[in-house]
Structure 1
């Protein structure tokens, strides 16, 4: 979306010194005059005919339902010089246009556009390829810079000057000027007062745009074939606004996952569950999301969230608030890791970067991890020691990374932050040892000379100094937590298909992977117990691993509070009941509970009216993905998937029974949303249940991404930003990034395009 908006708004940079603004003027032109006034450095490609033999490179395997158009004559519009003319096999009266540039570049997102939708085709050529023709070419030619405007020749007489000034005034566009002004303020982090406008002008314009486009978002959410799922979390900005990010997850008409920000209400009262519920409720009602459209809530394990869900259940008349709640898996893993490293006495309220005596003693009691924390805090708090660490790295010309690395300090908020602290410490350990040795040597040298000895930091005392055995213990925990990090990275996505490392196209963050993830982590904890005997403190390591196992088992045993987890596993076409029968073969009561939950959920769907009816629609193409060769978490997930499904006897029962009995083979890495899109007419009610469940986010990571964007906006120079300004800006920005406002031309257009 950012690239598309950048292309639409592409204007050459000006070189005037009076300000960073671009041309806010516009004037009507005839086609002949427009071409003469087009800037010479404007990136515009004129339409040119494509070679006639380009059918040889056309990807017919991607469009099996299309064939070469047989209509008489060739369309005269300029767009056909840049595309293929095709028609549908089943309905030869429906013509399609496929972009020649996308075919030539082998773009994986290539689409067959309806030939009648010429506006969309022109927008595609302009946004994606900077190719313009017809009216779009004329619009580009009209754009001129301020420098070009003022370089026009004028008469030397005063009358001519007055006429020229009046000429400029008539062609001054207030909206264009304000849009460029907002772009400059946001891009360069300038305070709004530098615009020399009233304090409320820009905020009022952005707020007006939010309310204007909200009706379009409401319509989009109501037309979604799936439930709208919600994730929310709190964050305090630099200027002390307590914002609650509320993010919606849903599917578009082609069953593709979407995510948008609905709002960031400012909670000025106490951070209680009741106040949270009120803020969330107001946002949901503002978007006309009611009892039947709202799906599940993905939240962390804060007790206030449980209270908030109880209040929301009363408002929307849900029978069981726990059934509607999905626990953020990233937060669960974070709590398990802390239980393993710090045991029952987590003491999470201690400031991570505090080095006073009380905090130091608390960390020291935590063993090698506490010692490491105190050492990292000492290095980070001392400019001199930090520079010594950097210099030690610069002296090593054989290290495997460029530049110098700083230490990382664990904290309470970032998931698995202690793992990243250990990872960095192990990586730069030789240089840390060098720094510690130099500091201790300086202290002893001063003492030998009879001078006043500087007191050593407490972390360098004999009882606090990291020993070789401590480093071995740290390495043991680090290797174990690496599996946790792999799991979080795999599951913190948003369910969208993207090109990953190595050219693999895959979707991360799908809810059907939750149960296998629990089993995978439980297995690694069990295996770590047997390896604990090889650590310097085997008894302590086994105890800490037991703490982690108990914490993980606590949340694993609670997944039957909601039907989402089991239903998502069974409704994935490549998994079905295989995982539950294999993983729970020694726990038949768990299989029985899963069957009960799925049957109960199916009863809510099997009597619903048919939502999907046959008609004119586009078939999504299957996506091929590369296989992963190493045995990893992905390989573990694949081990429960099957490429063939045995056909059982009989053809009786409802949709769920028929699908489990008769459904054919699928690929292991099949896209479940694409699969159910193709099955929506054969199993309409089961499809509705499947997409409602499979579209549930398993982490609230998107809230953290929103807060990161808010943090970039509320910089040190912009601490006077009001909470409402931050909220509406981030909200409209998310709508733009999701591609829901294709015709948007408002104040935030250029800001979003540059991100």
Structure 2
């Protein structure tokens, strides 16, 4: 595998991209080859830049393969020109050069089999780009980058890899134009690694809770994690999802119980205004309860009633039919729980607390970077309060909020 990475089609492609972007002259040559290809196909010329992969960028490899496949005709022409240049120079050179030629020159460019391999990797990486863009985006009303999407997205990715594994099994690798057979090994490794990360998500009850508290997908995991009735554990071994549902609901029950205990304790705790002495006011003899005392006692009684009945909130809500996927609230569970707050005051608070957690830290890291941009050399004395206010205004403008300016009467 190490040798393949050094001399295989991906290494050859990366080397060709590095060469084509290494100097202004090579960039200009590659643009001319793009223009010639567009003219040959009688299409309008739209110059495109090659994408160099970066290890720290999640989707740069997919972007690299996608752009290379789009420009493969011009890239093949570029490699062929450079190979011919090297051959002419080598024929007129008296001594052997000290440096070895570039990899794509040594390999004679890229062939149909190599491009088939690149195309396969592009197809394999496409779902991962879609998933990362979905989970790392800045969500509006919990429609993207929402924590309830994490488990479902992992399930979808695992299904995609399983489908690719089955498809790659049927390829005739003896065909000279077929992709290389190590793809099967790499897909198996990817499936194993993704399953390993997926299993770690069960260490936290939040992902499970976020999914089962979704008004549309409350029963999705019961379907995805169900052990088939025809599974024979004695012959096939333990099912990968054995006990997942039971353990998930157990962890959620602990979370739900802890949340209810906090609400009950808060409801039974006397407020500071009730427990504090009032030295400057004397209670008048024979006077009925004041309005404030009356309202306070009513609120306290209501809280006690909620605490006594909230044991049934989740069970009652779970028995409700899921929302249809085309329901306006189906893609916005935060709005849903705000609407149903009066019916499920305790459960809705737990759901809103969970849905306030972003699915990934990417958006938070962007905010840190934006704050760093604000702190230029001339602004190092800015106070944290001002930075917070500026970033808040920037975030509000980004989502379309506008300040109301007072009118002069």
1:364 is matched with 6
Aligned pairs for 1:697-736 (under 5 A) are 697-706=358-367, 709=370, 720=377, 731-736=388-393
Contact 2:31 2:47 in 1 (8 A): yes
Aligned-partner SS, 2:341: coil
2:192 is matched with 550
Post-superposition offset of 1:687:
0.5
1:518 is matched with 154
1:571 is matched with 213
Contact 2:150 2:359 in 1 (8 A): yes
Write the distance in 2 (CA, Å) between the matches of 1:726 and 1:528: 54
Name the structure where strand makes up a greater proportion of residues. 1
Aligned-partner SS, 2:148: helix
Task: Say whether 1:682 aligns with 2:346.
Answer: no
Write the distance in 2 (CA, Å) between the matches of 1:725 and 1:402: 49
Post-superposition offset of 1:481:
0.9
Contact 1:494 1:510 in 2 (8 A): no
Q: 1:594 aligns with which of 236, 248, 273?
A: 248
Q: List per-residue Cα deviations over 1:382-435 (Å, max 9, x = no partner).
A: 332221111112333357675422211111211121111111111111111111
Q: 1:529 aligns with which of 155, 162, 165?
A: 165
Post-superposition offset of 1:478:
0.2
Q: List per-residue Cα deviations over 1:582-640 (Å, max 9, x = no partner).
A: 1011234000011101101100122343899xxxxxxxxxxxxxxxxxxxxxxxxxxxx
Post-superposition offset of 1:476:
0.3
TM-score by length of 1: 0.40
Write the distance in 2 (CA, Å) between the matches of 1:515 and 1:415: 19
Q: List per-residue Cα deviations over 1:526-563 (Å, max 9, x = no partner).
A: 11112224364554111111221111011101111101
2:61 is matched with 418
1:654 is matched with 312
Aligned pairs for 1:614-653 (under 5 A) are none
Aligned-partner SS, 1:564: helix
Write the distance in 2 (CA, Å) between the matches of 1:399 and 1:492: 39
Write the distance in 2 (CA, Å) between the matches of 1:726 and 1:519: 45
Write the distance in 2 (CA, Å) between the matches of 1:492 and 1:652: 35
Alpha carbons of structure 1 residues 684 and 707: separation in structure 2 relative to 1, 3 Å: closer
Alpha carbons of structure 1 residues 442 and 368: separation in structure 2 relative to 1, 3 Å: closer
Post-superposition offset of 1:512:
1.1
Post-superposition offset of 1:730:
5.9
1:409 is matched with 52
Contact 1:411 1:417 in 2 (8 A): yes
Post-superposition offset of 1:468:
2.2
Post-superposition offset of 1:726:
11
Alpha carbons of structure 1 residues 730 and 551: separation in structure 2 relative to 1, 3 Å: farther
Segments of structure 2 that go 5 or more residues without pairing to the other structure are: 228-240, 268-308
Q: 2:88 aligns with which of 429, 445, 449?
A: 445
- Number of aligned residue pairs: give it: 335
Post-superposition offset of 1:469:
1.3
Q: List per-residue Cα deviations over 1:320-347 (Å, max 9, x = no partner).
A: xxxxxxxxxxxxxxxxxxxxxxx7x7xx
Contact 2:120 2:179 in 1 (8 A): no
Post-superposition offset of 1:451:
7.8
Alpha carbons of structure 1 residues 725 and 443: separation in structure 2 relative to 1, 3 Å: farther
Write the distance in 2 (CA, Å) between the matches of 1:362 and 1:593: 43
Alpha carbons of structure 1 residues 723 and 668: separation in structure 2 relative to 1, 3 Å: farther
Post-superposition offset of 1:727:
8.0
TM-score by length of 2: 0.71
Task: Say whether 1:739 aligns with 2:383.
Answer: no
Q: 1:540 aligns with which of 164, 173, 182?
A: 182
